[in-house]
Chain A
Amino acid sequence: DQQVKQNSPSLSVQEGRISILNCDYTNSMFDYFLWYKKYPAEGPTFLISISSIKDKNEDGRFTVFLNKSAKHLSLHIVPSQPGDSAVYFCAAEPETSGSRLTFGEGTQLTVNP
C-alpha cells in the first residue's frame, strides 16, 4: 500500500524553464511534507518542507504547493539548472508518528543545457 506516490518516474526539461514535480498521498493523517534531492552515490539531502496549515512555501528557486483537498503537492523549480538534475523524493509525516517519514518512489529530473 503506497501511501505516497510519485507517478512520474522521470522528467526532462530545458535549462531555464520550469520543472514541476508532483506527489500524491492517501493518508489523511499526514500533516507535514518534505522534498529531498538525491545525487548518485550520495544520500538524499533535505530541500524544502511545508506544513499542512500552509498551501505554499518558497525558498529561492524552489516552491512547494500543497492542495490538501486533493491530497496533492508539487515542487516547482524556476529557473531549472543542469545542477538540479537528480532524483527527487517526496516524503510525508503523520502528526502522531513522531518523526517517521514515508517516502514516494522518486522522480528522476534531467535538466538539459
Chain B
Amino acid sequence: DVKVTQSSRYLVKRTGEKVFLECVQDMDHENMFWYRQDPGLGLRLIYFSYDVKMKEKGDIPEGYSVSREKKERFSLILESASTNQTSMYLCASSFGGRPNYGYTFGSGTRLTVV
C-alpha cells in the first residue's frame, strides 16, 4: 500500500521559531509537493520538487524554504514562524510525466503558531 508519511499530526510552535515539517514517500515518486489548506482558500502550493536537490517555488513561497536531499524525503522549513502560518500542511507525491495519475497525499500536519 503506497504511503506518504508526515512526521507530525499536530504541532504547536512559538512565533519566531524555526520549524521543520518532514515528509517521506515509499513509492519511488519523482515529484513531491507541499501545500497548505486554509478555509475558503483551498489548497495552495508552497514549493515543489521534480528531482533530488531540485526545488521550485509555488504560489505562496514567502516565509518558507524546502530541502530534498534524498528522493524519498521532502522537508518544509519555516524560517521564522509567524501566526499567519498557522494552517494545515499537506505533503504529496506523484510520478513524473503525463498523464497525471494524481497525487498521493499524506495525512497532514496541523501547525499552530502562538
Contact = CB atoms under 8 A, between A and B. Distances in A.
Interface string A24-61: 00000000101010000111111001010000000000
A113 interface: no
Contacts of A99: 31, 94-98, 100, 103
Interface in A94-113: 95, 98-106
Given A98-B31, A99-B31, A105-B42, A44 B105 contact: yes
Contacts of A45: 105
A37 B50 CA distance: 24
Chain A contact-residue range equals: 20 to 34
A43 B48 contact: no
Nearest to B95: A99
Contact of B40 (A41, A46, A105): A105
A83 interface: no
B99 A51 contact: yes
Given A99-B31, A106-B42, A42 B102 contact: no
Contact of A42 (B35, B94, B99, B107): B107
B100 A89 contact: no
A36 to B, nearest CB: 8
Interface of B: 4, 9, 31, 33, 35, 40-45, 48, 50, 58, 90, 92, 94-108
Lowest 9 A-B CB distances belong to which pairs? A43-B105, A46-B102, A103-B43, A105-B42, A99-B100, A103-B42, A99-B94, A43-B107, A44-B105
